[in-house]
Amino acid sequence: MASDKVIGIDLGTTNSCVAIVEDGTPSVIPNRGGYKTTPSMVAIAENGKRLVGHIAKRQAITNAENTVYAAKRLIGRKWGSAAVRSSLEIMPYRIVEGPHDDVRIMLRDQVFSVPEVAAYILQEMKLISEEYLGEEVQKAVVTVPAYFNDGQRQATKDAGRIAGLDVIRIINEPTSAALAYGFGRNIERKVAVYDLGGGTFDISILEIGNGVFEVVSTAGDTFLGGEDFDRRVIDWLVFGFEKQHHVDLRKDKMALQRLKDVAEKAKCELSSVKETEINLPFIISTGRNDALHLQTMLTREKLEELTSDLIDRTIEICARTLEEAEIQKAQIEDVILVGGMTRMPRVQSAVAEFFGLEPCKGVHPDEVVALGAAIQGGALTDEKSEVLLLDVTPHSLGIMIVGGYFHKLIEQNTTVPTSEQHVFTTVKDNQTSVKILVLQGESDRAEENELLGEFVLTGLRRAPRGEVEIEVMFHISADGIVSVKARDLETGLEQSITVTATSGLTEDEIKKMVESNKDYMVEVRSGQEFDKARHGAEKALEDIESLFPQVTDIIAGSDFGQDAVKKARAVVERTKQSIAAKDLTTLTEATEALNRTLNMFRGVVSKTRG
Amino acid sequence: MSAVPAEIAGIGSTQQTLRVSPSFDPLKAAVGPQEYFVLSRIDGRQTVREVLLMTGLPMDRAISIVQRLRALGALLIPGEMVGPGDPGATASGPPQAKDPVPGPPAGKSSRAENPAVRGGPLTGTPQGQATAKGSGAVAVMRSAAGAASSFATPPVLRRPPSQTSPPPETNHPQPQHDLSLPDATAVELAALAEDLMLDDRSRRRILAMARLADGRDPWALLGVPPGSDARQLKRAYFTLSKEIHPDRYFGQRLGSFTERLPFVFEALSRAYARLTSPERQRGAAQVDKAEQPQTPQEYAAELFERACQLEVSGDHLDAMKLFTAAVRVDPQPRYLRRAARCALASDQPRSAVEYAKKAHLLAPNDPSSARLLAAAFRAVGKLADAEEVLVMAMAIKSENDTLTSELRHDLAEVRRLLAQ
């Protein structure tokens, strides 16, 4: 029998966890082995069987090439992205290019998309909860790092769909942790959630009161996590081994996998002990029926030294987030630590030092995110729930305008649902269509942001440029779904899209589009830099031209009259050239000189008249 | 105003808390504006006594309105699920509801203090569950009603005590909107009459807030007095969010409210952001400063004087800081030129260019502005610009011969440098 129950799934980089709210109490559902978390690993065994979780992890060493871990680092990413390129080097499994500039994983001649791999893990979590509940589960709330972009969120939703789950909501991991922390407690305070997981780092500031959880600000780094700490240890081991034996262990995938296991284990052990022995016998064969062994000691101090810059980076992000949100450290009344990495004593002390208070010990860093997801599931479906989450959009949204600039309509950290609109105009005479590129990100340059989708509004009236007005409306629903509508204010013609999947375009392709679609772009009616500069320049050009005859007459007699007229002409030419070149920097400079000259021209005329 | 009686006929004790029957339809009942108003005050938290006092109506009038509303089935006494006037009333209604007898049954107050019953959200009959989900106010009302009940079957706790929701907050005022919706439009009336699982009070709240969603009065939209502090704003925002955020009605059929809910919530969060943004707080601080008796011009003049003294004493850097401050308050060409000169003297050519540009813009025909700008351009290595400015200045005849010769000298110097 199908159940109305909503499970909460923390789909982690290294481990996943599932929870549910029963009789008003959220609890984690253990898997068949009795563990509360399940490794986020998928493997294809020699007999073609699919293995997920603990079983996959257990055989990882002997089947490294066909075992996927940390697939979360690849989900929703583009083949050309830096994230994928760096994964190519370190992952023992084969990562190949997909048909839409996406990423595929090859296991035993079978090609899987990343959402498919994630789906196997979600399916496992679904099974675990169904066995526990004794009924079919269809609905889930799934968590993602706060800094995931729309493409990564959509891909995670796709994974849910493949797994046969209706993902009723995607929520951010730190937010989820805060829900678990504040649930059932009558508190009113500002808290920070420091979430250092396997692959990502997030920091969120929330305001909690009367059952309402308001996200004030959120930021993070999708490429900073426990795996990076492991890699530092691996690099240290590889380097030491190479120095001693002149053998690069990285070239042997099996050795690499063993190194990875031992590095993670050592890192975890050093959270409770001061030093640990690393022992990898027969790590590599030297070819003559002989093998080398790796044996060394790693101290907590050494680990801290190897990773201190990573911890510093997280603290820097914390500082920046507080600054951007204009929140004083002293206003934060509690810090919640989430993610396995926060067990590291140095991480705890760095956080305590930065915020000036001891982090909250009441939450379990591995389970708290899943618990929060289950609570949000309850909040959405249980009529009696007293919980409301006010979430924000983690990235700014807008469109590309002429010159390849990104014009933001919705700023990051805006509470959703939200909508915003702005009027744009045509850039060319007789332009009959405009292309709307919907972008997400913080960069001023369009190509440096994520392209969410595009559409064309046609049938515009033939008119001089700047005359036809197009209103662009953005909406983000409470579910985080983005829809964009463009409307010709004259004819009422409309075009719209709902962003459901990434188009798979690369940066280069966007750059090319910037070039090839120059004539089909819109520009901001007022305020956007180049446009504004050009309008200003054109006005000044007009004005100065009308003054030239008069001024030439007046100053012709003076010593430097001819010189001055020549100079003024040169400035006019310079301005015209930079308009033609569409170069904002030179135009700004030229316009400044032009205005200066114009000002003096005006002065000359008024003085003579006076 | 006359005193509030301890009890009123048809209702009972004025110490008890009434709530609005979810099945009551004010449109069908044809109540007047005063009745609407009184009805809108009944929020499941205030006691009858408080409601009577806060209406501002003459006491006997207020009492008769409450009695009339009660007779119409609009009001529920604690423990009731359906009011007496309601056609759907069943035997589940408590005895005193069917047969209005003045005087409360004994032992009510002691029961109301019973902590075990005060627990939290309670489940009632299926009808109770049928009321709109998600409205925090409704949930609290229900709990308050259960707490004061002496006849209803013992309530079932949905959550263990550790998971109870916070008790109703009584130490701060609830956001206020005119839920009577005076001069309701046809659209609003239709929205109130739609067949939805959304209770009347929430509909009225949403409609009342939609009227205020144009952004002109963010305070009114948040239902707080203008000038309320950050804490009051936050509480109002949270309370209202819990009532109108679309997530509170997730997956429900909402008719015309499907569009209205996000619209109103977006307006609410915009209003909240506007009233709590750091800009606003800074703006408020600036207003305070402006209340000083000095005018900005006077203040700038004073800064300028002090800067001049410093400049004379050779402290160019500090002088420039003060000139900068003066310029910010009152951008006069005179102040700008002095700031530029100080910047040049204290080896800050970039600042010098900025100030000189502004000065030149304000007084383009003043040769000294031109000369200063040219000097600043020279200092940053923009010789071509310097030449251009000087040539233009020379082209304009000046009465000041000294200055003209200075300009000529400067121009020669710049041209010499350019030739190199």
Find the CB nearest B266 among A326, A417, A563.
Answer: A417
**Nearest chain A residue to B143, by CA:** A384
Which of helix, strand or coil describes residue A188?
Answer: strand
The pLDDT value recorded for residue B81 is 63
Place of tokens 């009333």: B89
Find the CB nearest A388 among B121, B163, B247.
Answer: B247
Chain centre distance of CA B281: 13
Å from B398 to nearest chain A CA?
10
Please, are residues B82 and B89 in contact by the beta-carbon 8 Å criterion? yes
Find the CB nearest B396 among A212, A478, A603.
Answer: A603
Distance in angstroms (rounded) separating the CA atoms of residues A206 and A462: 50
The pLDDT value recorded for residue A524 is 52
Please provide residue B401's backbone torsions phi and psi, each rounded to the nearest 5 degrees: -65, -40
B394·A183 Cβ contact <8 A? no
| Residues in a beta bridge with A97 | A103
Residues of B in contact with A558 (CB under 8 A): 394-397
Å from A510 to nearest chain B CA?
32
pLDDT per residue of chain B (420 residues) written in tens, 0 to 9: 457 788 888 788 888 888 887 777 766 666 666 777 777 777 777 778 877 777 667 788 888 888 888 887 888 887 776 544 444 434 343 434 334 444 444 443 433 334 443 333 333 333 433 333 433 333 333 333 333 333 333 333 333 333 334 444 445 678 889 888 888 888 888 899 888 888 899 999 999 999 998 888 899 999 999 888 888 999 999 999 999 999 999 988 899 999 899 999 999 999 998 888 765 554 444 433 333 345 667 777 777 777 777 776 777 777 777 887 787 777 788 888 888 888 888 888 888 888 888 888 887 777 788 888 999 999 988 888 898 888 888 877 666 666 777 788 888 889 898 888
Distance in angstroms (rounded) separating the CA atoms of residues A381 and A8: 13
Handedness of CA A230, A235, A238, A239 (dihedral sign): negative
B167·A186 Cβ contact <8 A? yes
Distance in angstroms (rounded) separating the CA atoms of residues A191 and A332: 5
Distance in angstroms (rounded) separating the CA atoms of residues A57 and A55: 5
* A48 interfacial to chain B (CB closer than 8 Å): no
Find the CB nearest A417 among B235, B238, B262.
Answer: B262
Among B272, B397, B414, which would you mutate to test the A interface (most chain A Cβ atoms within 10 Å of its Cβ)?
A: B397
A388·B395 Cβ contact <8 A? no
Residues of A in contact with B357 (CB under 8 A): 592, 596
B365·A211 Cβ contact <8 A? no
B165·A386 Cβ contact <8 A? yes
Q: Output the six-digit token pair for A419.
A: 């909508």
* A431 interfacial to chain B (CB closer than 8 Å): no
Find the CB nearest B395 among A386, A388, A564.
Answer: A564
Handedness of CA B195, B198, B201, B207 (dihedral sign): negative
User: Strand ranges (DSSP E) for A240-354?
Assistant: 275-285, 291-299, 334-338
Q: Residue type for A231, please? A: R
Residues of B in contact with A571 (CB under 8 A): 388
Residues of B in contact with A24 (CB under 8 A): 158-160, 163
- pLDDT average per 10 residues of sequence, chain A (610 residues): 83 95 94 93 91 91 89 87 82 87 88 90 94 93 90 87 90 95 92 91 94 92 88 93 89 83 93 93 80 91 95 94 88 93 95 94 88 96 90 91 85 92 85 89 82 85 83 89 88 80 47 53 55 83 87 77 85 88 82 86 70
Distance in angstroms (rounded) separating the CA atoms of residues B418 and B383: 7
ipTM tops the 0.90 cut: no
Residues of B in contact with A602 (CB under 8 A): 364
A558·B395 Cβ contact <8 A? yes
Distance in angstroms (rounded) separating the CA atoms of residues A175 and A215: 7
Distance in angstroms (rounded) separating the CA atoms of residues A212 and A233: 42
Which of helix, strand or coil describes residue B292?
Answer: coil
Radius of gyration of chain A from Cα atoms? 30
Residues of B in contact with A415 (CB under 8 A): 269, 273
Q: Which of A451, A190, A424 is nearest to A329 (CA)?
A: A190
Q: Output the six-digit token pair for A52.
A: 């997920």
Q: Which of A403, B411, B134 is nearest to B419 (CA)?
A: B411
Please, are residues B197 and B252 in contact by the beta-carbon 8 Å criterion? yes
Among B238, B263, B354, which would you mutate to test the A interface (most chain A Cβ atoms within 10 Å of its Cβ)?
A: B238
pTM score of the predicted model:
0.63
Distance in angstroms (rounded) separating the CA atoms of residues A339 and A329: 22
The pLDDT value recorded for residue A590 is 87
Cβ within 8 Å of B, A 295-334: 326
**Nearest chain B residue to A327, by CA:** B278
| Residues in a beta bridge with A438 | A399, A453
Cβ-based burial of B56 (10 A; exposed 0-12, middle 13-18, buried ≥19): exposed
**Nearest chain B residue to A375, by CA:** B163
Q: What is the DSSP letter of B39?
A: H
CA distances from A532 to A427, A455, A535, A538, A539 (A): 12, 25, 5, 10, 11
Please provide residue A508's backbone torsions phi and psi, each rounded to the nearest 5 degrees: -60, -40
Cβ within 8 Å of B, A 454-483: 477-478
pLDDT tens digits along B269-319: 999 988 887 655 544 444 333 333 456 677 777 777 777 777 767 777 777
**Nearest chain A residue to B198, by CA:** A383
The pLDDT value recorded for residue A41 is 95
Q: Which of A129, A149, A187 is nearest to A3 (CA)?
A: A129
Distance in angstroms (rounded) separating the CA atoms of residues A129 and A131: 5
The pLDDT value recorded for residue A109 is 87
Please, are residues B326 and B311 in contact by the beta-carbon 8 Å criterion? no
Q: List active site positions of A.
A: 10, 72, 173, 195
The pLDDT value recorded for residue A481 is 82
Find the CB nearest B129 among A183, A383, A385.
Answer: A383
Element of type H or E holding A316 = helix A300-324
DSSP for A64-76, please give it: GGGEE--GGGTTT
Q: What percentage of chain B's residues is helix, strand, coil (to nearest 5)?
A: 60, 5, 40
Element of type H or E holding A437 = strand A434-440
The pLDDT value recorded for residue B97 is 38
A418·B266 Cβ contact <8 A? yes
| Residues in a beta bridge with A143 | A10, A171
Find the CB nearest B361 among A390, A418, A599.
Answer: A599
